[in-house]
Amino acid sequence: MSKEMFTIDQGVRQGGAFSADLYKIYINPLLNILSTSGLGGRVGNINCCAPTCADDVALVSNNPLELQTMINIALDFSKREGYLLQPTKSVIIPVKTCRKFYEIEDGFWKLNGKNMPIVSNASHIGIQKSDKNSAESTVNENIKKARRAMYSLMGTGLHGENGLDSKTSIALIRTYILPILTYGLEILLPKGKILK
């Protein structure tokens, strides 16, 4: 099987060493616009309306009208820069600390003239967010991903009797499975007593 080279005419190469940094340069003007708009969430006097990792942006606000304005800003920026926002990943997730959001019906927020769905679960930078129990959703999703990764490694010999030796198996589990299981768990708060 021959490998043919092809040119990249738009965007950055998936998994490239400089792709994340190049994308940060590209998206930074949008983040500056949102940050200086005075809209959205704040921690003290610090505006934190758009937590972002690469192309995964979450718009945060406890005011429904401000949120729609921020959506419009992101949409205008995408049109000006010539990229499309993914309608299937562009969703509204209300949080239980904000009563205003629960009083609003489907169809309030719009993206490109179409209603944005209000969902109970969504993912941001691989961490599950939920209107009820984000920690439980994250743990369940991590277990699913780790199970899939484990099954995919079984073909390489990561299984019982006549597979890889135990030292190699443990190294594979530590390298590929444990990081998946523990990703995002720093958001968890322990309940009950912590054993010493």
Residue range 49-62, pLDDT digits in tens:
888 876 778 898 88
Instruction: Give the integer Cα–Cα distance in Å for 128 and 196.
Output: 29
- In SS3 terms, 33-86 reads as HHHHCCCCCEECCEECCCCEECCEECCCCCCHHHHHHHHHHHHHHHHHHCCCCC
Nearest to 41 by CA among 97, 88, 81, 87: 97
Calculate the CA dihedral of residues 24, 30, 35, 38 and round it to 10 degrees: -170
Residue 26 clears pLDDT 60, i.e. is over it? yes
90-127 per-position pLDDT tens digit: 888 877 665 555 556 667 889 888 888 887 767 655 55
For 107: left if phi > 0, alpha if psi spans -120 to 50, otherwise beta; the answer is left
Q: How many CB atoms lie within 10 A of CB 192?
A: 5
pTM for the full model?
Answer: 0.60
117-156 per-position pLDDT tens digit: 887 767 655 555 555 566 666 677 778 888 888 888 888 8
Q: Which residue has the higher pLDDT, 162 or 175?
A: 175
Q: Which residue has the higher pLDDT, 72 or 3?
A: 72
Instruction: Give the integer Cα–Cα distance in Å for 95 and 104.
Output: 13
Quick one: pLDDT at residue 69? 94
> Are residues 47 and 59 in contact, defined by beta-carbon separation less than 8 angstroms?
no
For residue 86 the two structure tokens come to 């993914």
What confidence tier does 71 reach under pLDDT thresholds 50, 70, 90?
very high
Q: Amino acid letter at 81?
A: E
